[in-house]
Amino acid sequence: MAKSQSPEGYDPRDWPPFAVTVDLVVLTVRDSALSALVVRRGEPPFEGCAALPGGFVREAESLDRAASRELAEETGLARLPVHLEQLATYGAVDRDPRMRVISVAYLALAPDLPSPRAGGDAAAAAWTPVAALLPALFPGSPAAAADATLAFDHAKILADGVERARAKLEYSPLAAAFCPPQFTVGELRRVYEAVWGVTLDPRNFHRKVTGTQGFLIPVGDTTARQGGRPAQLFRLGDVTLLNPPMLRPA
Amino acid sequence: MAKSQSPEGYDPRDWPPFAVTVDLVVLTVRDSALSALVVRRGEPPFEGCAALPGGFVREAESLDRAASRELAEETGLARLPVHLEQLATYGAVDRDPRMRVISVAYLALAPDLPSPRAGGDAAAAAWTPVAALLPALFPGSPAAAADATLAFDHAKILADGVERARAKLEYSPLAAAFCPPQFTVGELRRVYEAVWGVTLDPRNFHRKVTGTQGFLIPVGDTTARQGGRPAQLFRLGDVTLLNPPMLRPA
DNA sequence: GTAATAGTGTCTGTGAGACACTATTCC
DNA sequence: GGAATAGTGTCTCACAGACACTATTAC
């Protein structure tokens, strides 16, 4: 930004125009499986492939606003109780064969929504288990289905998003973004297990998570959503950083 | 990217053109102070302010290539022994008063280079202590000088870059990117102290860093660059993740 | 000698993981 | 009763931080 050839201001010839889009990695936990929102492409290139939802940034909106607008459009829900943060930007010259596109990817974490999308958009978005899209991230999972190939560089973007989510669960209370407002320790544990792709000792997990100051606030009620002994309900506390962190097993 | 109004392909009217730039947060440790490379603006807006080096992305180069090209131009060095990674993208509507600019920021970590810049560019880049640019990041440092105000949203970008560097020192061997190819434990400790803005116990630091498998490889030689008992020289090992991590003091 | 830096040893508290055990529900 | 989930207690090992002590240089 400091090196224009015309020091008095910007000459349009100085800067080649780029198309700027936002792509969304929207994750949730459904049936104990980490799942991502994908659309089905109906036209070339990559016709028939799965793709991440996204769209062009408008002239008068910030990147953050473009991301939340696209998220609302794709899910059909206006006020979404989700976490949304910028992930990274992808700008390889040939990432879109038609033209030069810079894509700013965002990561969204959502609780298991009753219906993936109720709105009336052309390409219906659907939840797909990440293990089917990127088997390499979940060792031991079956090979990817043929129709689970992601278009463009979206496999890389999704992988980066999953890795970001995995890392954030360690030192932030973000796992609760996958849960309803009130949840049990067991539900929270299943989130960690689904995102990390591991199994955790329920007893150590319980002791650790309830012992971390400010993470979980008991609501005082109990529930028996899973069968077995009813569990205490909690809501998320106000910490932004977990201390000590929840470390992934080595 | 999935929601063009003209499904057969892209119509230029679909996507408003944006200028795309890269901005660089280049950090080094000079005289035990974390310092950043800044240029002095010679024209409005923000005339006379400090700014991060950067420039427009060219039509046929990737974002990563644009960043390393700008870095080479600003430092005047062709083959730089630096770490370079993408930081984040800044796209507020009014971040540049003249036009809509999307800026992809990159973070570079460099050893203390003999001369900040030998090349012949208009705005000479100079190393400035981060504590002078962003006193809030270093509690106890004197207030910022008047000429240390950063242009545009560069204060936020620099703060994000410093925070990224601080976090990466914990779980990656990236502190060595601030050191020459061979270095002592004391030099490495001064890097941690400068970046984190803390003082560390030299004895515990030594035991911990030499005990982390794969981090430091003894070269077999010694040096007495600091006066006092000569210290062993090490080179960086081949780990990419420190286990256990070097945790910042709470 | 003193000052300065390098490096080792030892103790103590905290926390992670393994796992025995009890509690409360549904069937 | 048995199966399933919730929750507590206890043990062991690893590591972070505090700090005494020795080692090797420059002056």
Q: How does pLDDT run across A113-146, given as a tens digit for each residue?
A: 765 554 555 467 899 999 999 999 999 887 767 6
Distance from CA of A121 to the nearest CA of B (A): 9
The verdict on a CB contact (< 8 Å) between A89 and B101 is no
Find the mean pLDDT for residues B41-46: 89
**B249 shares contact with chain A (CB less than 8 Å):** no
Domain count, chain A: 2
Q: Decide if A99 and B10 are in contact by the 8 Å CB cutoff.
A: yes
Paired with A104 in beta bridges are: A22, A89
CA of residue B205 to C1' of nucleotide D19, angstroms: 14
Instruction: Give the CATH number for residue B188.
Output: 1.10.10.10
Are residues B111 and B19 located together in one domain of the fold?
yes
How does pLDDT run across B49-105, given as a tens digit for each residue? Answer: 999 999 999 999 999 999 999 999 988 777 777 899 999 999 999 999 999 999 999
Strand C: which bases are under 7 Å from protein Cβ? 3-10, 14-21, 23-26
Given CB atoms, is A102 within the 8 Å cutoff of chain B? yes
Q: What is the mean pLDDT of residues B167-190?
A: 97
Clarify whether residues B120 and B203 are in a common domain: no
pLDDT value for B183? 96
Examine the fold and report which residue of A122, A149, A167 is the final residue of a domain before the chain moves on. Answer: A167
Query: Which residue, of A120, A137, A167, is where some domain finishes?
Result: A167
Q: Which residues does residue A217 pair with via DSSP β-bridges, in sequence order?
A: A235
- In this predicted structure, the answer to whether residue A9 has a pLDDT above a threshold of 90 is no
How many angstroms is C1' of C19 away from CA of A170?
A: 24
Pairing of strands A50-51, B101-109: unpaired
Is pTM beyond 0.75? Reply is yes
pLDDT at B156 over 50: yes
Are the CB atoms for B213 and B240 separated by under 8 Å?
no
Share of chain B above pLDDT 90, in %: 75
**Contact present, A160 and A88 (Cβ < 8 Å):** yes
Using the 3D structure, point to which of A167, A184, A219 is the last residue of a domain: A167
Cross-chain Cβ contact A19/B17 below 8 Å? yes
Residues B32 and B99 in one domain: yes
Are A129 and A202 found together in one domain?
no
CATH number of the domain that B32 lies in? 3.90.79.10
pLDDT in tens, B181-238: 999 999 999 999 999 999 999 999 999 999 999 999 999 999 977 789 999 999 999 9
Using a CB–CB cutoff of 8 Å, tell me whether B49 touches chain A.
Answer: no
β pairing state of A216-223 and B54-56: unpaired
B103 and B206 share a domain?
A: no
DSSP secondary structure code for residue A143 in this structure: P
pLDDT attached to residue A38: 95
Q: Which domain holds residue B208?
A: 168-236
Q: Which two tokens stand for residue B114?
A: 């003999």
Q: Please tell me the distance from the alpha carbon of residue B27 to that of residue B161, in angstroms, as a whole number.
A: 9
Same domain, B45 and B149: yes
In this prediction, residue B14 has a pLDDT band, given cuts at 50, 70 and 90, of low
Quick check: A14 and B54 CB within 8 A?
A: no
**pLDDT tens, A39-87?**
999 888 999 899 999 999 999 999 999 999 999 998 877 777 789 999 9
